[in-house]
Structure 1
Amino acid sequence: MALSPADKSVSILRALSDFFANPLARAVGLVFAADSFLFGSWVARIPYVKYSLDINDAELGLALFLLPIGSIVMNPFTGKIIQRIGSAQSCLIGGLGFFASVMVPILAPNLLILSLGLFIMGFFTALLNVAMNTCAANLEKEQGLTIMSTCHGMWSLGGMLGSALAGALIWADIPASYHLLGVAIFLIIFIILIQPTLRAIHEEKSPESTSLARPTKALMVLIFIGIAVSMGEGVSFDWSAIYLREIANSSASFSALGFAFFSLAMTIGRFVGDTVIPRFGQKRLLAFGGLMAAAGLLIAILFPNPYIVLLGFLVLGFGCSLGAPILYAASMRLPDTTPAAGLATFATLSFIGFMAGPPIVGFIAEGFGLPNGLLFVMILLATSGIASHWARI
Structure 2
Amino acid sequence: MKFISSAGSDKPGVTPKQQLIATCAAFFILGVVFATWASRIPAIRDASMLTPVTLGYALLGRGMGTILIMPAVTGLIHRVGPKKASMFFGVLLILSLIPMAVAPDWTILTVVLFVTGAGASGYNISINALGSKIEASTGRSHMSKIHSWFGVGNVAGALAGTAMASQEFSVSLHFWGTATLLLVILMGLYRYLPEGGKDPKALKAGFKLPHGGLLWLGVICFVAASIEDSIMNWVTLFFTDYVGTTEGLAPIGYSAYAVSMLIMRLAGDRLKPRFGAKALITSGSVIAASGVLISILSPNLIVASVGFVMAGAGVALTFPMIFSAAGKEGAVALATVATMGALGGMVSQPVMGYLVDNFTLTGGFIFICICMLAVGGGSQKARLLKK
State the TM bucket, normalised to the shorter chain.
over 0.9
Deviation at 1:145, TM superposition (A): 3.2
Deviation at 1:57, TM superposition (A): 0.7
Alignment of 1:208 with 2:202, yes or no, is yes
Q: Partner residue of 1:358?
A: 349
Alignment of 1:75 with 2:70, yes or no, is yes
Q: Is the 8 A contact 1:138 1:203 kept in 2?
A: no
The whole-number CA distance in structure 2 between the counterparts of 1:15 and 1:279 is 20
Matches for 1:64-143 after TM superposition, within 5 Å: 64-143=59-138
Deviation at 1:101, TM superposition (A): 1.1
Which range moves more in the overlay, 379-388 or 152-161?
A: 379-388
Q: Which letter maps to 2:348?
A: G
Decide which of 366, 375, 381 is 1:390's aligned counterpart: 381
Deviation at 1:228, TM superposition (A): 2.1
Deviation at 1:15, TM superposition (A): 6.7
Matches for 1:166-185 after TM superposition, within 5 Å: 166-185=161-180
Describe the SS at the equivalent of 2:202: coil
Alignment of 1:260 with 2:255, yes or no, is yes
Q: Partner residue of 2:286?
A: 291
User: What's the RMSD between the two structures over aligned residues?
Assistant: 2.0
Q: Which letter maps to 2:79?
A: R
Matches for 1:179-328 after TM superposition, within 5 Å: 179-198=174-193, 200-203=194-197, 205-209=199-203, 211-328=206-323
Q: Partner residue of 1:45?
A: 40
Q: Which letter maps to 1:387?
A: G
Alignment of 1:369 with 2:360, yes or no, is yes
Deviation at 1:359, TM superposition (A): 3.4
The answer for unaligned runs of 5 or more in structure 2 is 7-14
The answer for unaligned runs of 5 or more in structure 1 is 1-12
Q: Is the 8 A contact 1:137 1:148 kept in 2?
A: yes
The whole-number CA distance in structure 2 between the counterparts of 1:378 and 1:100 is 34
Describe the SS at the equivalent of 1:33: helix
TM-score w.r.t. the length of structure 2 is: 0.92
The whole-number CA distance in structure 2 between the counterparts of 1:174 and 1:77 is 37
TM-score w.r.t. the length of structure 1 is: 0.91
The whole-number CA distance in structure 2 between the counterparts of 1:17 and 1:187 is 29
Percent same amino acid among aligned pairs?
Answer: 26
Q: Is the 8 A contact 1:232 1:293 kept in 2?
A: no
Q: Partner residue of 2:159?
A: 164
The whole-number CA distance in structure 2 between the counterparts of 1:17 and 1:364 is 51
Note closer, same or farther for the CA distance 1:355–1:15 as it changes in structure 2 (3 Å cut): farther
- The runs of 4+ residues in structure 1 deviating greater than 4 Å are 13-18
Deviation at 1:351, TM superposition (A): 2.6
The whole-number CA distance in structure 2 between the counterparts of 1:257 and 1:359 is 25
Alignment of 1:381 with 2:372, yes or no, is yes
Deviation at 1:309, TM superposition (A): 1.2
Q: Is the 8 A contact 1:230 1:350 kept in 2?
A: yes
Q: Is the 8 A contact 1:228 1:377 kept in 2?
A: no
Give the aligned length.
375
Q: Is the 8 A contact 1:139 1:201 kept in 2?
A: no
The whole-number CA distance in structure 2 between the counterparts of 1:16 and 1:166 is 35
